[in-house]
């Protein structure tokens, strides 16, 4: 049975929530493998809107096991609030349908405080544009071997030792930023209070997934953000703090790379990004405003307005390589309805030299200007189309040209936020 990784192939916000939810009907297990609650997924099911940050998208489907893997950094207080909010919408969540890896690092209040203080202190041009939720500092503590992990909540002595080690690092940083020292006892009290609500979901996820796989169950691996925000292969330093590309799915839950059978890259029919950093195909004109308004381009988590631009085939071709994408899910093509002319970025001009990829050096990225290919648009509506026959001819030509330019086939085509408004070309879960 096939196991599928879903990864954003742009800067995030490609519509992963809907596609993961749509695919979860075919899956038995949905596992989140990286990121924090800075990424938001909006699901629209039978007219009901569900907004998820930390929870895997599969929780809204009954009978599925949802897993938060060790590659995630988890804010336990936010998770408890999110669970309650989703339960109030009639979704049942219990340890039978939700598991958290015991080795998952926690986001503490001190991480958010440090995150926000750094952004405020950053000089002009050096702000990363983080959400201020502590994701970056939490990953720093993980790599620095001073994290409080889920399993630590079960033992008072270990918990105190972990907190003390973290504070040895954080208090000097806070002093340098003009923040008062951490109240150790208050932090420990907060952790002791939340512990029972988190530990009830704790499990050896690596073992559970191995057993599920051996039993022939289908696993859907769900990432957050997009490959262009990957800490290694993104537009560094304007990136997230974890590996986003598909290879992280294996280490982010504790299952070998041989367990991955299909990588589905999520791609918007145009391009957006949130926050700072290079964006060669960005539109600061009426077309950009039109894309933003038609696409409702505001962050699920922060409400921040997204920057918009034409489809960048160079970037997507690049991320398809670094994530080993098997096929793409092209989303939000309906946003392009009514444009007389469409443009696709097919290369960059860097100081007179033509490039077919985005260079690594930040100064070179900033100097890249797009080289466009134009295509005729369409006046007919694509919204809600569920077959190729329902699409305008020029929309089909646009999709086929994208396939040629990125060297990757379209497996799914999404024509609205509704779950069933999807054209299936290749089922990633096909045997």
pLDDT tens digit string along 144-159? 999 999 999 999 999 9
pLDDT of 25 reads 83
Least confident of 57-61, 104-108, 110-114: 57-61
Instruction: Point out the catalytic residue in the list 21, 28, 37, 41.
Output: 41
361 Cβ contact list (under 8 Å, min separation 6) = none
pLDDT tens digit string along 363-391? 999 999 999 999 999 999 999 999 999 99
- 132 sits in the region (left: phi over 0; alpha: psi -120 to 50; else beta) called left
pLDDT of 129 reads 67
Active-site residue 13, yes or no?
A: yes
* Residue count of the chain: 431
Q: What percent of the chain has pLDDT over 70?
A: 96
Arithmetic mean of pLDDT, 265-292: 94
pLDDT tens digit string along 196-230? 999 999 999 999 999 999 999 999 999 888 999 99
Please answer whether residues 337 and 290 qualify as being in contact, where contact means their C-beta atoms are separated by less than 8 angstroms: no
| Beta partners for residue 54, in sequence order | none
What's the number of CA atoms in the CB half-sphere (13 Å) around residue 330?
29
Distance, in Å, from the CA atom of 342 to the CA atom of 194, rounded to the nearest integer, reads 51
Arithmetic mean of pLDDT, 354-361: 96
Least confident of 2-11, 36-45, 103-112: 36-45
Say whether 98 sits in a helix, a strand or coil.
strand
Nearest Cα neighbor of 283 from 372, 155, 167, 353 is: 372
pLDDT tens digit string along 303-313? 678 999 999 99
CB-CB neighbours of 232 under 10 Å: 12
Band the pLDDT of 61: cuts 50, 70, 90: confident
Say whether 196 sits in a helix, a strand or coil.
helix
Distance, in Å, from the CA atom of 416 to the CA atom of 44, rounded to the nearest integer, reads 10
pLDDT at 1 over 70: no
- Predicted model pTM: 0.91
Site of tokens 């994408």:
325
Average pLDDT, the chain: 92
pLDDT of 301 reads 58
pLDDT of 252 reads 97
Distance, in Å, from the CA atom of 240 to the CA atom of 187, rounded to the nearest integer, reads 26
Instruction: Point out the catalytic residue in the list 13, 28, 115, 312.
Output: 13
pLDDT at 2 over 70: yes
Domains of the chain: 4-103+201-262 (3.40.440.10), 109-198 (1.10.300.10), 268-424 (3.90.170.10)
Least confident of 119-123, 144-148, 309-313, 348-352: 119-123
pLDDT of 265 reads 97
pLDDT at 291 over 80: yes
Task: Classify the C-alpha dihedral 324-328-329-335 as positive or negative.
Answer: positive
Say whether 94 sits in a helix, a strand or coil.
coil
pLDDT of 228 reads 96
pLDDT at 48 over 90: no
393-406 and 313-322 helices, crossing angle to 10°:
50
Please answer whether residues 325 and 264 qualify as being in contact, where contact means their C-beta atoms are separated by less than 8 angstroms: yes
pLDDT at 289 over 80: yes
């Amino acid at each position: 049975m096939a196991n599928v990784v879903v990864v954003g192939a742009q800067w995030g916000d490609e519509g992963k929530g809907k596609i993961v939810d749509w695919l979860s009907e075919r899956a038995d297990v949905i596992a989140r493998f990286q990121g924090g609650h800075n990424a938001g997924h909006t699901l629209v099911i039978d007219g009901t809107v569900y907004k998820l940050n930390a929870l895997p998208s599969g929780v809204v489907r009954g009978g599925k096991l949802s897993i938060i893997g060790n590659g995630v950094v988890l804010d336990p207080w936010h998770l408890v609030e999110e669970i309650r909010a989703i339960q109030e919408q009639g979704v049942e969540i219990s340890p039978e349908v939700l598991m958290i890896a015991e080795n998952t690092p926690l986001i503490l209040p001190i991480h958010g405080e440090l995150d926000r203080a750094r952004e405020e202190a950053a000089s002009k041009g050096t702000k990363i544009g983080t959400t201020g939720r502590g994701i970056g500092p939490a990953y720093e503590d993980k790599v620095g071997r001073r994290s409080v992990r889920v399993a630590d909540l079960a033992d008072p002595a270990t918990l105190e030792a972990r907190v003390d080690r973290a504070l040895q690092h954080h208090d000097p940083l806070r002093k340098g930023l003009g923040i008062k020292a951490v109240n150790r006892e208050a932090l420990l009290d907060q952790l002791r209070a939340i512990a029972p609500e988190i530990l009830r979901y704790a499990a050896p996820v690596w073992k559970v997934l191995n057993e599920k796989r051996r039993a022939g169950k289908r696993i859907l691996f769900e990432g957050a953000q997009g490959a262009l925000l990957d800490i290694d292969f993104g537009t560094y330093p304007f990136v997230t703090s974890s590996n986003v590309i598909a290879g992280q799915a294996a280490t982010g839950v504790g299952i070998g790379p041989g367990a991955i059978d299909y990588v589905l890259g999520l791609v918007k029919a145009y391009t957006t990004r949130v926050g700072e950093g290079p964006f060669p195909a960005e539109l600061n004109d009426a077309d950009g405003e039109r894309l933003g308004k038609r696409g409702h381009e505001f962050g699920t988590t922060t409400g921040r307005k997204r920057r918009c631009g034409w489809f960048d085939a160079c970037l997507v071709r690049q991320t398809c390589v670094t994530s080993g994408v098997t096929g793409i899910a092209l989303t939000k093509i309906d946003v392009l309805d009514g444009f007389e002319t469409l443009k696709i970025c097919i290369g960059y001009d860097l100081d007179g030299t033509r490039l077919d990829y985005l260079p690594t050096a930040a100064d070179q990225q900033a100097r890249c200007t797009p080289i466009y290919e134009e295509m005729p648009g369409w006046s007919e509506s694509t919204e809600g189309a569920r077959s190729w026959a329902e699409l305008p001819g020029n929309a089909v030509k646009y999709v086929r040209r994208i396939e040629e330019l990125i060297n990757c086939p379209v497996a799914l085509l999404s024509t609205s936020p509704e779950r069933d408004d999807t054209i299936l070309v290749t089922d990633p879960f096909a045997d």
